[in-house]
A and B are shown apart, each in its own frame.
Chain A
Amino acid sequence: MDHDKYIDYINRFVDDDLSVEETIELQSHLETCKECSRYFEDVKEFKNRLSSVEEYDMDFDLKKGVMKEIDKGRMKKVNYRKYFPIAAGLILVLFLITPFLKTFLFGSMANQDSAENGGEPAYDYDYDYGDDGKDSDSGGEESRDDSGITLDMAESFDVSKIIYTGSMNLYTEEYQDTMEKIEVYIKSIGGFIQESSSNYYDSSDGEITKSGYVLLRVKSVDFEAAMDTIESYGEAQNSNIRTTNITRQYQDIKGELDSYLIQQERLLEYLEKAEKIEDMLAIEDQLSRVRNEINYRTTMINNWDTQIAYSTIQVNVYEKEVPTTKVKSPFENFGFRIKEAFVQSINSLLIFTSNLLVVLTSLLPYILLIGILGLIGLLIFKNRHKK
């Protein structure tokens, strides 16, 4: 007889899991099988006994304990992962505003320097333009690109004592033609060519490359128009305009000159009145020294006047291959360009890092304040939440 089957039936019967047919089958089996019948009685008793087991009461504050642990865990282990997108966004924003910050930071520094210099802008450049060069020790230069000088700065200058210098690289398909055009144009506006040079040399691939430069002098009033016109003769690159404000130096030298002229007049008066030979010689000696000083300053002022009146434009002209007749490799100077790009990136990164540190340091008081307020808010929120 299959006792195992009926033992399963018995167990399922006490658990109300038996179907009507199975129940009838079990009942008829139990009537004949004493062993299964005893098992049935025992299991019923077992179930009966266990039915008196009572559920335990919760004699402890589960919620309080759990929430305390969760809050403790939260304080210990902040989920930093959820802040990653915010941090990434912040870094991106900082990266994007770096150029503006740079302008802002360095701009404000320049203004500071300017204030310290008694209103004059700070000059970092001492550029030799390749002409008579007598202004190279004058200091007081201002550099700018085509973006233009600001109105405030321009107003603080005596515009009549500004030397304009321009330079550009001009790429053209017809070298000779361009050089001639420049010459004709400069003469037409009353300027002149101060210096000119042309080079014809064989490049590595057997092609003859033409290049050269011209140093032009044009009237200051025509300076900007001349720059624009010459740029239109080819493909202009690295077009620069430099302005040198020599107002202060000019006035100093002019003042010294006036002083020496007065001194000269007095010495001449003394000379007329002098009677002794020794006195005359001594006065002549002094007069000679004063005249030297006067000459030196007069020449300087004359040179400046020329430079102020006539601006200098240096044009480097290069003959460029016609793109349709020659294949130009994009990998020309590839290594150099890679190196340059890498160095630029490193520099940008360093600038970004330094700016980031400056910004973070400047934000520190705000972060502290926000942190404290946030903490107070959190405590208030928690207290209310508990209530």
Chain B
Amino acid sequence: MDIYEKELLADFQKGKRDAFEIVMDRYGKKVYNIIARMISDKEEAKDLTQETFIKVYKNMKNFKGESELYTWLYRIAVNCARDYWRRKVENYPISILENKISSEDSTEKTVIKDENLKNILAEIDELDLEYREVVILRDVLGYAYSEIAAILSLPVGTVKSRISRGRSKLRSRIDFKD
């Protein structure tokens, strides 16, 4: 870590606004992508990204530097996404939610021409939370095992086995070569 990084981190831990803005510039897009992929809704993800950074701002002084700053940020983002998902499930009966997901399939519909990819992403959304999170972080967003373990506060071994099982579950549902 160079001097600039150290100073940035020190300022961040002191709760300085400038440091917070730099961090927001640097990691805003990543946080947005994590949330958007986790909840499969780009519009809602904008609000949740904002919510994530407001939480970060309020907890800046609580960051002890025990983990990397970005994994700490992404953990807050993942928790925001989980909360959103929980609220959504509580507010909508499961049947409506299922219809909503299948009919809207919001973000990718207009963007992704590749039907197969669209199906894969839709199936990822259908996975249980424990598999969905690791598969998205690894295969969609490309984070390393150790990073995923830090973000989700899991042992690396658990991350590996969950990824393996998650992919196997997906393979049982769809044919990747279609």
Contact = CB atoms under 8 A, between A and B. Distances in A.
Contact of B114 (A45, A49, A60): A49
A42 B24 contact: no
A49 B120 contact: yes
A261 to B, nearest CB: 91
A12 B120 contact: no
A63 B24 contact: yes
B14 interface: no
Interface in B18-56: 21, 24-25, 28-29, 32-33, 36, 42, 45-46, 49-50, 53-54
The number of chain B residues touching the other chain, given as a range, is 35 or more
Contact of A62 (B28, B57, B114): B28
A382 to B, nearest CB: 11
Interface stretch (A19-27, A65-73, A217-225): A65-73
Nearest to B160: A12
Interface stretch (B3-11, B74-82, B95-103, B161-169): B161-169
Nearest to A49: B117
A46 B176 contact: yes
Interface string B60-81: 0000000000000000000000
Interface string A39-81: 1001101110110110111101011011101100100000000
Contact of B161 (A8, A15, A45, A52): A8
B3 to A, nearest CB: 25
A52 B171 contact: no
B176 A56 contact: no
B139 interface: yes
B116 interface: yes
Contacts, number: 82
Contacts of B171: 39, 42-43, 46
B117 A66 contact: no
Contacts of A60: 46
A63 B21 contact: yes
B38 to A, nearest CB: 12
A143 interface: no
B145 interface: yes
Contacts of B145: 15, 17
Nearest to A55: B33
B49 A62 contact: yes
A62 B53 contact: yes
Given A50-B139, A53-B140, A66-B57, A17 B160 contact: yes
A2 to B, nearest CB: 14
Contact of A63 (B25, B46, B140): B25
Nearest to A46: B176
A43 B167 contact: yes
B163 A11 contact: yes
B138 interface: yes
Contacts of A42: 171, 176-177
A67 B163 CA distance: 37
Interface centre among B139, B140, B161, B163 (most CB of A within 10 A): B139
B176 A7 contact: no
A338 B73 CA distance: 60
Nearest to B36: A56
A221 B171 CA distance: 119
Given A11-B167, A39-B171, A58-B28, A66 B54 contact: yes
Given A12-B164, A52-B117, A62-B46, 11 more contacts: A7-B168, A15-B138, A46-B171, A50-B117, A53-B117, A55-B33, A56-B42, A62-B24, A63-B24, A63-B25, A70-B54
28 contacts: A7-B164, A7-B168, A8-B160, A8-B164, A11-B160, A11-B163, A12-B160, A15-B138, A17-B160, A45-B176, A45-B177, A46-B167, A46-B171, A49-B114, A50-B117, A50-B120, A50-B139, A53-B140, A56-B32, A56-B36, A56-B45, A60-B46, A62-B32, A62-B49, A63-B24, A63-B25, A63-B28, A70-B54
The 4 tightest CB contacts between A and B, nearest first, are A11-B164, A45-B176, A66-B53, A62-B28
